[in-house]
Structure 1
Amino acid sequence: MAGARRYRDTVEDSVSVREGRQGIGIGSALLGALVTDAREAGHHVSCLPV
């Protein structure tokens, strides 16, 4: 149970961008908004570059 408590404020997400729409910043914008919302909701946030 201690392990589960350690991750209770952690969320995981992913962003997929439609072929033909990649490389124009859509994924970065969406991920940035997700990270901001998660932090504001009190979640621990760690992410990798898009």
Structure 2
Amino acid sequence: MRLRATTALAALVAAGLIPLTLPTTPASAGTAKYADDFDGDGYRDLAASVLPTAP
């Protein structure tokens, strides 16, 4: 029983320390050539919105 408690405690401590080793800088997208290039593939994109009509 004591081995099981020690193993569980070690697992909890390890799980608590893992986030401290991960990089803290957020990921960022590359700079786009055009202001309307939303996905960064080098081509201009078109964004459109359609409002639903009442039945």
Normalising by structure 1, report the TM-score.
0.36
Q: Taking structure 2 as the reference length, what is the TM-score of the superposition? A: 0.33
Larger radius of gyration, structure 1 or 2? 2
